[in-house]
Structure 1
Amino acid sequence: MTINNKPEVKYRQDYQPPAFIIDQVDLTFDLAEENTVVTAKMVIRRNPNSNQSSAPLVLDGRQLKLESASLDGRALSPADYQVDEESLTIALVPDVFDLQIVTRINPRANTALEGLYLSSGNFCTQCEAEGFRKITYYLDRPDVLSRFRTTIRADRRYPILLSNGNLIDHGELADGRHFATWEDPFKKPCYLFALVAGDLVEIRDNFTTMSGRNVSLHIYVEARNCHKCAHAMRSLEKAMRWDEETYGLEYDLDRYMIVAVDDFNMGAMENKGLNIFNSKYVLAEPETATDADFQAIEGVIAHEYFHNWTGDRVTCRDWFQLSLKEGLTVFRDQEFSASVIGRAVKRIEDVRILRNAQFPEDRGPLAHPVRPDSYVEINNFYTVTVYNKGAEVIRMIQTLIGPEFFRRGLRLYLERHDGQAATIEDFVAAMAEVSGRDFSQFCRWYSQAGTPELRVRTDYDSEDKTFTVNLRQFCPPTPGQEKKEPFLIPVVVGLLDRKGQSLPLQLAGESEPAVGDSLVLECTAAESSFQFINLSREPVLSCLRNFSAPVILDIDCSDA
């Protein structure tokens, strides 16, 4: 017998819509540290957009003990389904049906910190990217969006019981335990599900939205940390106001909750309405925290809040589109932080991360595009390329079309795909529609790995009073991509006199100078030339202003 242990490679080109849709799921958790029972009641139907009209129902599941399953109220026998280490398969199902699954799990033994686990004696979840399958059998993929209602039953030693959405019921149980029921009115994929139960204290405040709604804000921490949350709360309120003022995006639930835990394998997680953070991104006190600590908390709090729209209300179709939510939201949190600490200071900080972490990744054996074409393990793609270079790609779009068109494009994207799982093409299409631009060549930033090198040389003609800027781009080979097509590189330039004063920017063929002291040159070929006119003296070129593209600049800095 031959055992094939070769890991399965997933390819973006193989994407197929799910064969089934789960419209509603009611979850009941009977919590116990080593013996939690999860009951999942699901309303399921075949997906009319799938070509798998007679496919069996295959639900993802890992490290679960199946207690029972019933379909439309009829108990299923082992002959009706097949269970293996990765899935539960039911061969014969109608087009529309109710399915109830009861599973048993051991949170204490879950040291991978995926699914439901214990952190310092508190129950906690982490479901991105594929952790929900360790809670119950489900279609664990981001393009299956469902409405969740969650009931948590637990001993009184866990006084705080939290999940996504709004609290609709709570009370005592006959056996001395208590319960809480939460309902999220917005559809979401299961990777955004969250549950927390434990002995925590609550820090509370309120926020009034731009439409006049009152939102209660809650931060939950261990009692010993309750005095360290003031900065996190202020940061949340600032982020909420900034998103309203900048993009017109208002929070949509009655409450917003943050939980800080010590054992968390990501910095923070944007679960709808119930963000879970590593404690270091929430807790700070003036006596011991540095300016960098306060800034990091402010940025991460904002990042997870901004995901409410760019990640939660509109999510990604598949994990190949990860930068759609992460790159876009990193860009948004960078812009927020720039408004707080200063645009120049923040830009220097962001570029330093690119040059010190992302550029080396592009040069190494693990170089990959912002949107990869294949993966074996999706958790390996939570990288500075997907996040930070992905944010630079978003920034270049704004540079090309301008902030106002960018705001319009973002609003169009969110309105058009609200409650959906979208793709990078959907986002770019919205930007193209509002601006009238063709982004076909620009999208190579998503598909090609590597850091382009941009060589800049200039030539001044004193007789014609012209100044020519010659640009040459080249991107070195990366694994799997030996030859690269030219990128569309937005190169923001200015011209200065010897006293550092800005000079008019008039390109050959233009009837008058451009407005402002900067101009975007679009380098679209391997070699491009741009000629400025009406310059009585040789200017000094100020090139790649605001680091307008993630490139390595080679410029002749000799004194002319």
Structure 2
Amino acid sequence: MRTNQPQTIYLSEYRVPAYLVDNVDLRFELFEDGARVHSTLAIRRNPESDAGAAPLELDGDSLVLESVALNGEVLADDAFEDRGDRLIVNSVPEQFKLSVVTWIEPQNNTRLEGLYKSSGMFCTQCEAEGFRCITFFPDRPDVMARFRTRVEADKTAYPVLLSNGNPVESGDLDNDRHFVTWEDPFPKPCYLFALVAGDLVEKRDTFTTCSGRDIDLRMYVEPRNADKCAHAMDSLKRSMRWDEDVYGREYDLDIFMIVAVDDFNMGAMENKGLNIFNSSCVLASKETATDVAFQRIEAIVAHEYFHNWSGNRVTCRDWFQLSLKEGFTVLRDAQFSADMGSDTVKRIEDATLMRTAQFAEDAGPMSHPVRPSSYIEISNFYTLTIYEKGAEVVRMIRTLLGEDLFRKGSDLYFERHDGQAVTTDDFVKAMEDASGRDLSQFRLWYEQAGTPVLDVADEFDAERGVYRLTVRQSIPDTPGQTDKQPQHTPFALGLLDEHGKALPLRLSANEQDAPVERVLELTDESHVFEFHGLAQKPTPSLLRHFSAPVRVHYPWTREQLLFLMSHDPDGFNRWDAGQRLAVDVIQSLVGEPKDTPLDSRLVTAYRHLVTDSSLDQALVAKMLQLPSEAYLIELAREADVPAIHAARERVLKHLAIALRDDLVACYRRNASGEDYAVTPEQVARRSLRNTALAWLLVINDEEGRELALRQYREADNMTDRMGALRALVNSDYESDREQVLDDFYQRFQTDPQVVEQWLSVQASSPVAGQLPKVRALLEHEAFDWRNPNKVRSVIGAFAGQNLPGFHAVDGSGYDFLAEQVCRLDDINPQIAARLVTPLTRWKKFAPAYRSQMKSALEQVRDKSGLSKDVYEVVHKSLAD
């Protein structure tokens, strides 16, 4: 058991850096047994620091120091101190150059931080604190410098040598080696540094900016992936044009590069001018990637490109401000995706992620504000709260200000802070100054953790024709925060009459030309709103467009929910009504006898969705997805997973049996003879078709089985092939399941990204993913402990998606996860800390499960040499 508690870092202790670095000159000598890094830093004392003539302290991690020189003079051993995690130079002038030579071993770097090797390729990951694994440096985002980087390597093994900025020099060296020098003209923090060296294929294109400049676009992949780049390249060009049109942001360098890497802890990284991507987030062809993968790639390419301004040109002062760049950029990529596809569907997807996963994070032991006040390991704070809730907070500012003033505010923000490292307060201040709005109270969204709850009650005064709505706001206690203040919240709503007609929302009897939708602004604990001129009590449509990341409690009847499913003009709330109705039905069956009757109106509602082709088919595809078990668990007080699973399966099978013929007709109606394309219309049809197929296989329908086998054999795209495979894997047709799984692996065993899908579809299946099967996958030739994608595809899929398997009554799933987390902690602590998350919600579950989950967490806690990544998560989870 660990005895030395890692150090906690506090926002309140922030101090400006004692020294600034103006220029960084790097030379990398890359070899098979390691790399020698020559670093020369042009340093000066920070005039804004009160540290005086303090010693120079540079961060380091896993470095072998070879030499230190000050202004060209090699320092004696007593002039500096190498503490491993810090290099301290005791006496330095006000301005000087420090030269340091370090030796590192990228080939043995399983943490995948700093410089490491992946599939024989050198690459880097420096966010958040990886640069200190390369050389000694003030590794903090508010130290911004201009970088010049020379990369030297064997010419045959590593013909491509890349870094940030523009290439300024290249040539041959002795011993069949060569070099390329790159220069980045823009100051940047070291977390945005990047280097790649490998045997890669180059795909090129161009983009002409709004001012007429031609940008050289380059994508680098392994030769076997040369035919999977077109979609990402097209996505990049669409992103560049969109950012010019919507935010007025033009690209600044002459070259923009993307590199695909198989071994990567994150999805992608926005390094200035040289984005490094997890291969799964950039490579796609119709034969190997599903519709969801195509859409995800488009969104991630956009996200990393948009960071060029919201993250690179303007960056965060410290890591507590991480959402400054991530929240804003997630909003930007969400707007882009909505414009490229369906705004309603995108909003549903974002809200689903918030309500299922981020709300759970808000209610768990790792709950923290969008701007945290402390952390032990910053890697643990790359969370849904920082990204997704942070995006919702920025979206609320946009809602409160309106589109035009929000654009004016973003323009001011970029103009005012270009080339600076700033805070979330600076962002909000720009919005205030541009709009004239006071957002003082709104800042609480950055400071207070937890998901606000809006309790809504209503009454109708028939004599006066007044509908009264009372909204009460509360925020639950979270670790370290109690007695929270009410937040400034936009609350969008509409009212419908008995025929589904939208009613004017008159806030006074004399109001003329009242809108049919309003955004009310909640600032107090309780508000009463009156709407005048109504002939009868309306049906409320609340929190339209998911206008704030809150829970809404209102006593909807099933009749009202059925009515909203059919009539609400807001597509998001139409979907939400269906979800609430299904939740109500499923919850009513949890723990009840198997002969408890189901509400027949549910079948009627879903039959209308399946059979009415005049409806928005993209919306229908979403509405046919029952609430997930993860969401149902989140709504439960003390979750009994097997009971929840049984209730949900019973509703699903009841619907599938009742709608069997309609499902077959839906399947056949949505067959397409068109050439494959990732259009909203085609994506909706394939989604409907595969949903119908999955429902038919749930009830072991023989015609459905034949349809699935035929679709699997004849599919010309991965969406349909995977749809059929998943349906068969989750069916009781065991021989068919094993046959198609074997065939799938034989077809795609040489493609790592497709094999990851094959692993995941098994580990995530309650039918196929029993624990012995999952353990067998860990021994499979395709599995690799050093590859985060493979680890997530098996262990992450089992613990995060196969909830009946993970929550086995004997606790074996919990022990399994604890065992794997302990093993991974010695290989890649970042991934281990993320994988342990399902155990951290142990207090959420029924007593029998709770005690076993806690015991598994204690096994992890007691591991010898526990990393600070896992230490923080586990100890916060076990705290009373």
Q: TM-score, normalised by structure 1?
A: 0.97
Verify the 8 A CA contact 1:33 1:118 in the aligned structure 2: no
**Structure-2 residue corresponding to 1:408:** 408
Q: 1:240 to 1:510 in 2, by over 3 A?
A: farther
CA distance in 1, matches of 2:541, 2:53: 63
Identity of aligned residues (%): 58
Verify: 1:98 aligned to 2:97, yes or no. yes
Q: Structure 2: which amino acid aligns with 1:56?
A: P
Verify the 8 A CA contact 2:327 2:388 in the aligned structure 1: yes
**Structure-1 residue corresponding to 2:39:** 40
CA distance in 2, matches of 1:111, 1:455: 49
Q: Structure 1: which amino acid aligns with 2:149?
A: T
CA distance in 2, matches of 1:350, 1:150: 40
**Structure-1 residue corresponding to 2:243:** 243
Q: Structure 2: which amino acid aligns with 1:101?
A: V
CA distance in 1, matches of 2:446, 2:337: 25
Secondary structure of 1:186 counterpart:
coil
Verify: 1:346 aligned to 2:381, yes or no. no
Q: How does 1:521-532 map to 2 (within 5 A)?
A: 521-532=520-531
Deviation at 1:291, TM superposition (A): 0.6
CA distance in 2, matches of 1:34, 1:400: 57
Secondary structure of 1:191 counterpart:
helix
**Structure-2 residue corresponding to 1:282:** 282
Verify: 1:451 aligned to 2:470, yes or no. no
Deviation at 1:496, TM superposition (A): 2.1
CA distance in 2, matches of 1:463, 1:34: 86
Secondary structure of 1:449 counterpart:
coil
Verify the 8 A CA contact 2:509 2:533 in the aligned structure 1: no
Q: How does 1:371-382 map to 2 (within 5 A)?
A: 371-382=371-382
**Structure-2 residue corresponding to 1:14:** 13
Verify: 1:399 aligned to 2:399, yes or no. yes
Deviation at 1:314, TM superposition (A): 0.6
**Structure-2 residue corresponding to 1:478:** 478
Verify the 8 A CA contact 2:453 2:553 in the aligned structure 1: yes
Q: Structure 2: which amino acid aligns with 1:554?
A: H
Q: Report how many residues are paired.
A: 557
Verify: 1:260 aligned to 2:254, yes or no. no
CA distance in 2, matches of 1:53, 1:246: 46
Moved more, 18-27 or 35-44: 35-44
CA distance in 1, matches of 2:500, 2:252: 49
Secondary structure of 2:69 counterpart:
strand
CA distance in 2, matches of 1:285, 1:340: 19
CA distance in 1, matches of 2:510, 2:17: 53
**Structure-2 residue corresponding to 1:114:** 113
Verify the 8 A CA contact 1:57 1:89 in the aligned structure 2: yes
Verify the 8 A CA contact 2:509 2:532 in the aligned structure 1: no
**Structure-2 residue corresponding to 1:141:** 140
Q: Structure 2: which amino acid aligns with 1:356?
A: T
Q: How does 1:521-560 map to 2 (within 5 A)?
A: 521-558=520-557
Q: Structure 2: which amino acid aligns with 1:431?
A: M
CA distance in 1, matches of 2:471, 2:273: 48
Q: Structure 1: which amino acid aligns with 2:177?
A: R
Moved more, 498-507 or 374-383: 498-507
Secondary structure of 1:534 counterpart:
coil
Question: Residue by residue, what CA displacement relative to the aligned partner does 1:122-154 show, whole Å, maximum 9, x if unpaired?
Answer: 100000010000111100000000000000011
Deviation at 1:498, TM superposition (A): 2.1
CA distance in 2, matches of 1:513, 1:430: 33
**Structure-1 residue corresponding to 2:499:** 499
Deviation at 1:454, TM superposition (A): 0.7
Identify, as 1 or 2, the structure richer in strand: 1
CA distance in 2, matches of 1:336, 1:466: 40
CA distance in 2, matches of 1:551, 1:133: 39
Verify the 8 A CA contact 1:507 1:513 in the aligned structure 2: no
Mind listing any 5+ residue stretches in structure 2 that lack a counterpart? 561-880
Deviation at 1:307, TM superposition (A): 0.5
Question: Residue by residue, what CA displacement relative to the aligned partner does 1:221-274 show, whole Å, maximum 9, x if unpaired?
Answer: 000000011111111111111101101101110010000010111110110000
Moved more, 444-453 or 114-123: 444-453
Verify the 8 A CA contact 1:489 1:524 in the aligned structure 2: yes
Mind listing any 5+ residue stretches in structure 1 that lack a counterpart? none
Secondary structure of 2:264 counterpart:
coil
Identify, as 1 or 2, the structure richer in helix: 2
Deviation at 1:91, TM superposition (A): 1.1
Verify the 8 A CA contact 1:202 1:219 in the aligned structure 2: yes
Deviation at 1:65, TM superposition (A): 1.3
Deviation at 1:378, TM superposition (A): 0.5
Secondary structure of 1:251 counterpart:
coil
CA distance in 1, matches of 2:510, 2:270: 48
Deviation at 1:26, TM superposition (A): 0.7
Deviation at 1:497, TM superposition (A): 2.1
Deviation at 1:436, TM superposition (A): 1.2
Question: Residue by residue, what CA displacement relative to the aligned partner does 1:444-490 show, whole Å, maximum 9, x if unpaired?
Answer: 11111111111111222222222211101111111111221111121
**Structure-2 residue corresponding to 1:360:** 360
Verify the 8 A CA contact 1:34 1:105 in the aligned structure 2: no
CA distance in 2, matches of 1:5, 1:422: 33
Q: 1:122 to 1:24 in 2, by over 3 A?
A: same
**Structure-1 residue corresponding to 2:760:** none
Deviation at 1:513, TM superposition (A): 4.2
Q: 1:289 to 1:4 in 2, by over 3 A?
A: closer
CA distance in 2, matches of 1:230, 1:390: 31
**Structure-1 residue corresponding to 2:204:** 204
Verify: 1:132 aligned to 2:145, yes or no. no
**Structure-1 residue corresponding to 2:631:** none
Moved more, 17-26 or 66-75: 66-75
CA distance in 1, matches of 2:32, 2:175: 18
Question: Residue by residue, what CA displacement relative to the aligned partner does 1:421-463 show, whole Å, maximum 9, x if unpaired?
Answer: 0100000000111111111111111111111111111222222
Verify: 1:66 aligned to 2:65, yes or no. yes
Secondary structure of 2:186 counterpart:
strand
Verify the 8 A CA contact 1:34 1:109 in the aligned structure 2: no
CA distance in 2, matches of 1:78, 1:61: 18
**Larger RCO of the pair (alpha carbons < 8 Å, separation 6+):** 1
Deviation at 1:317, TM superposition (A): 0.4
Q: TM-score, normalised by structure 2?
A: 0.62
Deviation at 1:83, TM superposition (A): 0.6
Q: Structure 2: which amino acid aligns with 1:89?
A: I
Verify the 8 A CA contact 2:455 2:472 in the aligned structure 1: yes
CA distance in 1, matches of 2:495, 2:252: 47
